[in-house]
A and B are shown apart, each in its own frame.
Chain A
């Protein structure tokens, strides 16, 4: 079965501090992993995907198959990073995304 776990429902950090949003997954094959973000009053949008190995808005995420994790990191948080973040998995050959429960990130000034 495919499962995505985001252990923190709420995360609050100060501006300029490092941020790490945790994501662990359960899947027996080679998954595709994604992070989606939903800013206040905006639609859910793709932030980054592991196959791209890119940094978006200063965020990076590395797929660790040994630990089955895909944590999202940013070295210096900004106030505009406050949003709801969802980790998602797509199994091999699958079409649908399986989402975690989400983490609400608040950046304090």
Chain B
């Protein structure tokens, strides 16, 4: 595709339910990032994948959050037992590699509302 694709674009879920958010990066991009965008909190780094290397999970806020990347392409962010504070826009991004000088391209985001 022409850009980073995310689904669903909007998700409303009940507190305590699990949700999965999907990201399809730009073809050929080996680096993939997940960020969370909350009102008044800016953009918070969650996790980074680069090729076959172990992911950088340093930004995941709790063990309820996990992500995987299958075949070096599509990624899924899973939030278990959702809480109201998980409500945010979850942004996926990709770049050709993770090194400096490569532009990071963002998707349109998945807006999650936990009620």
Contact = CB atoms under 8 A, between A and B. Distances in A.
A43 B4 CA distance: 10
Contact of A98 (B45, B100, B101, B104): B45
A45 B100 contact: no
Contacts, number: 49
Interface size class of A (residues with CB under 8 A): 10 to 19
Contact of A101 (B40, B45, B101, B103): B40
25 contacts: A32-B100, A43-B3, A43-B4, A43-B108, A43-B109, A44-B43, A45-B105, A51-B100, A51-B101, A86-B42, A86-B43, A95-B48, A95-B99, A96-B33, A97-B33, A97-B43, A97-B45, A99-B35, A99-B43, A99-B45, A100-B42, A101-B40, A101-B41, A101-B42, A102-B42
Interface of A: 6, 9, 32, 43-46, 51, 86, 88, 90, 95-102
